Amino acid sequence: MTSTHSRTVNYDYLFKIIIIGNNGVGKSSILRSFDNEYFMSNYLSTIGVDFMSKVIPLKDSTRIKFQIWDTAGTERFRCIVRNYYRDCVGVIIIYDKTKPSSFYDIQKWHEDLLKNTNIPKELLSIVIVGNKIDLTEDIKVGHADIIDYIGAHNIDYIETSAKHRTNINELFSLMGEMIYKKVQDSREQIIDNDNIMNYIKSYNYQLAISESIPPKARFRDCCSIN
């Protein structure tokens, strides 16, 4: 991913999110589509972790800046990926609707996330994504398969096509609205949970992350969408 520092965009909140899932499910392609880049069918697999940022408006015109970590899906990078779970208030778990194995591994990714995150579960926003819906003749994972899982874990779900940019902006808007609602709820409600309250007090949940970026991360700061 290349750097596109075109201009500075003002924002109200800064949220760190991470994209996880098996290798080849389309994580980087979804991110490229969100950044308005062209689709490449032979996109090279991410090595370690990649990064981009983007500002989007919410329904009430609040502007949020996403810092998005795109992670490798291969097992040999798993220990590296786990380091990036910290302070991510939003998580996108992607599977390929043409590859049942990537769907079955959702539970593995979900459990690995909950085991390694430092965010209280009540403050964590998770969206599961079924990608490659454009490959209609090759789809092997049906709606009934995913409904049971998202129902049991109370997780939001959306289907996308990175190739045709179907539901890409909707995915990130959904994530932004989910996190923002939890920010507002944390301000307006007395949460009877010491773990959550301590997190809010110590990490300043409405910001969720500092502005510092690891120096070795490849950086991309894109303009906003309207």
Kindly report the number of other CB atoms within 10 A of residue 110's CB atom.
18
Q: Provide the CATH number for the domain around residue 37.
A: 3.40.50.300
In a domain, residue 2? The reply is no
Residue with tokens 């786990």: 82
pLDDT tens-digit readout, 82-132: 888 888 999 999 999 999 999 999 999 999 999 999 998 888 999 999 999
Give the Cα separation of 12 and 65 in Å (integer): 8
In a domain, residue 79? The reply is yes
> In the structure, what pLDDT confidence band is assigned to residue 41 with cuts at 50, 70 and 90?
low
Query: Considering its fold, how many domains does the chain have in total?
Result: 1
In a domain, residue 226? The reply is no
> In the structure, what pLDDT confidence band is assigned to residue 216 with cuts at 50, 70 and 90?
very low
In a domain, residue 164? The reply is yes
Beta bridge partners of 188: none
- Segments forming the whole domain that contains residue 157: 13-203
Phi, psi dihedral angles at 21 (to 5 degrees): 150, 170
In a domain, residue 223? The reply is no
DSSP-assigned letters across all residues of 145-213: HHHHHHHHHT-EEEE-BTTTTBTHHHHHHHHHHHHHHHHHHHHHS----HHHHHHHHHHTTTT-S-S--
